[in-house]
Amino acid sequence: MLWSLLFFSLIAPFNTESIQLNGTETSQSSIYEDDNTLKYTSDRAIDGDVKICTNTKQQMNSWWRIDLMGVYRISSIEIFNKASVHSVINGCEIYIGYSPELNRTADLKFETIENFATDIWNTFKGNGNVSGRYITVIYPKEEPLVLCEVKINGTKEESPFVLIQENKTWEEALSHCRAQNMDLASILDANTQTLVGLEAMKATTDFVWLGLGHICILDFWFWVNDHCLTFEYWAPESGTDVCDVSAAMEKNWEHHWHKKNADQQLNFICAK
Ligand X SMILES: *[C@@H]1O[C@H](CO)[C@@H](O)[C@H](O)[C@H]1NC(C)=O
Q: Which residues fall within 8 angstroms of residue 222, CB to CB, at 6 or more apart?
A: 212, 213, 214, 215, 229
| 183 interacts with, out of ligand X, Ca ion, none, CB within 5 to 8 A per kind | none
How far, in Å, CA of 165 to CA of 72, rounded?
25
Options 12-20, 46-54, 79-87, 228-236: segment touching ligand X (CB under 6 A): 12-20
Asked if 235 is part of the footprint of Ca ion (rule: CB under 5 A), the reply reads no
Q: How far is the CB of 254 from ligand X (least distance, A)?
A: 10
How far, in Å, CA of 165 to CA of 202, rounded?
8
Q: How far is the CB of 220 from ligand X (least distance, A)?
A: 25
Question: Of 9, 105, 181, 240, which one interacts with ligand X (CB under 6 A)?
Answer: 105
Distances in whole angstroms, Cα of residue 101 to Cα of each of 79, 189, 196: 23, 16, 17
Q: Three-state DSSP class for 149?
A: strand
Write the interaction track for ligand X spanning residues 112-131; mark x where CB under 6 A is met and - where it is not: -----------x-----x--
Q: How far is the CB of 151 from ligand X (least distance, A)?
A: 7
Q: For residues 101 and 114, which CB has a smaller minimum distance to ligand X in the complex?
A: 101
Options 20-28, 81-89, 135-143, 244-252: segment touching ligand X (CB under 6 A): 20-28
Question: Of 4, 9, 15, 22, which one interacts with ligand X (CB under 6 A)?
Answer: 22
Interface with Ca ion in residues 100-159 (CB under 5 A): 149
Asked if 244 is part of the footprint of Ca ion (rule: CB under 5 A), the reply reads no
Write the interaction track for ligand X spanning residues 54-93; mark x where CB under 6 A is met and - where it is not: ----------------------x-x---------------
How far, in Å, CA of 168 to CA of 179, rounded?
14
Q: Which residues fall within 8 angstroms of residue 205, CB to CB, at 6 or more apart?
A: 167, 251, 265, 266, 267
Asked if 155 is part of the footprint of ligand X (rule: CB under 6 A), the reply reads no
Q: Which residues fall within 8 angstroms of residue 244, CB to CB, at 6 or more apart?
A: 216, 261, 262, 263
- Residues listed for the chain: 272
Q: Phi and psi of 87, rounded to 5°?
A: -90, -10
| Residues 243-255: b if buried by 16+ CB within 10 A, e if exposed | eebbbbbbbeeeb
Between strands 207-215 and 245-250, the pairing is: antiparallel
Options 40-48, 119-127, 206-214, 240-248: segment touching Ca ion (CB under 5 A): 40-48
Residues in contact with ligand X by the rule CB under 6 A:
16-18, 20, 22-23, 76, 78, 101, 103, 105-106, 123, 129, 153, 166-167, 204-205
